[in-house]
Amino acid sequence: MKAVIDNNIVIDALKPNPDFEADAKLVFQLIWQDRITPYMCANSLTDIFYILRKVQGAEKAKNTIANLITAIEIIPLTESDCVNALALPMNDFEDAIITVCAHKISADCIVSRNRKLIKAGTEIEVLTSKQLFEKIMP
């Protein structure tokens, strides 16, 4: 199953937050067990680095990003992807980018805890971490 992972899931798994950490780690469990083929938009890496740098420092954040790049396929972002995202009827540009990237690779789902994205009515199914885990490991 091709799954585009929203940056909030990655941040939740890597930056301790008791409200979201356990669910986010379910996605990484699926990745480590080769149950899903994970993808991330290239622009998500900058957001993740920015957050992690504040918590871990620049060197550790760079190492974390390097590990992510080896574990998760990175979807390149082009000018036409940005134009297509702007044309979507979504008010959140980041959500629109994720949606365009998911279509670009014919993803089976997007994994996010972003309620707006979940309710956006994209053609690609949007699941929470827990929903994805339950779908794969019933």
Q: Closest Cα partner for 81 from 41, 113, 49?
A: 41
pLDDT value, residue 19: 86
pLDDT value, residue 123: 83
Region 14-38: what's the mean pLDDT? 91
* Domains in the chain, CATH or no CATH each: 2-136 (3.40.50.1010)
Banded pLDDT at 119 (limits 50, 70, 90): low
Strands (DSSP E) along 2-131, which ranges? 2-5, 37-41, 73-75, 109-111, 125-127
